Amino acid sequence: MQALVFDSQLQFTRHYPMPRVAENESRVRVLRAGICNTDLEIVKGYLGFRGILGHEFVGVVEEGKMRGARVVGDINASDGTCATCARGDETHCPHRTTLGIVKRDGAFADYLTLPTRNLHRVPDAVSDAHAVFVEPLAAACEITERVHIKPTDRVGVIGDGKLGLLCAQVLFLTGCDLLLFGRHEKKFAFLQKRGIRATTDAASMPGQFDVVVDCTGNAGGFDLARKLLRPRGTLVLKSTFHGEQAMAFAPLVIDEITITGSRCGPFAPALRLLEQKLVDVDSMLSAEYPLARGVEAFEHARAAGVLKVHLLMN
Question: Each residue of 43-93: pLDDT tens digit?
Answer: 998 889 999 999 999 999 999 999 999 999 999 999 999 999 999 999 999
Alpha-carbon distance 101 to 187, whole Å?
A: 28
Alpha-carbon distance 85 to 267, whole Å?
A: 18
- Strand duo 209-214 + 154-158: pairing: parallel
pLDDT on residue 187: 87
What distances in angstroms separate CA 213 from CA 114, 134, 179, 243, 258, one per listed residue? 30, 20, 11, 20, 12
pLDDT on residue 242: 65
At 47, the amino acid letter reads L
The answer to whether the CB of 56 falls within 8 A of the CB of 132 is yes
Q: Which one, of 145, 5, 130, 2, lies nearest residue 72 by Cα?
A: 130
Beta bridge partners of 28: 61, 112
Q: Give Dmax over CA atoms of the chain in angstroms.
A: 57
Alpha-carbon distance 40 to 2, whole Å?
A: 20
Alpha-carbon distance 221 to 259, whole Å?
A: 13
Gap between the terminal Cα atoms of the chain:
12
Alpha-carbon distance 287 to 293, whole Å?
A: 12
pLDDT on residue 219: 73
H helix intervals, the chain? 37-44, 83-86, 128-131, 134-146, 162-172, 189-193, 220-228, 250-254, 267-275, 294-302
All structural domains of the chain: 3-133+281-312 (3.90.180.10), 137-261 (3.40.50.720)
Phi first, then psi: what are they for 146, rounded to 5°?
A: -90, -30
Given a cut of 70, the residues of the chain with pLDDT beneath it are: 241-243
